[in-house]
Amino acid sequence: MQMRLQQRPWTLFDPANKEHRAYFNTFLKTRSWSECPLQWVITDSSNDVVHHLSRILLEYYTSVEFRPKKPKTVVKKPQTIRKKVPKNG
Long-range contacts of 73-82 (CB under 8 A, 24+ apart): none
Q: What is the pLDDT of residue 89?
A: 56
Q: What is the pLDDT of residue 34?
A: 95
Domain-wise residue ranges, the chain: 10-65
Q: What is the pLDDT of residue 81?
A: 73
Query: Which run of H or E residues covers position 11?
Result: strand 10-11
Q: What is the pLDDT of residue 54?
A: 96
Contact 38, 23 (CB under 8 A): yes
Beta bridge partners of 35: none
pTM here is: 0.68
Q: What is the pLDDT of residue 2?
A: 55
pLDDT means over runs of 10, the chain (89 residues): 73 97 98 96 92 96 88 76 71
Question: CA nearest 17: which of 42, 48, 38, 45?
Answer: 38
Q: Is the dihedral of CA 13, 19, 23, 25 positive or negative?
A: positive
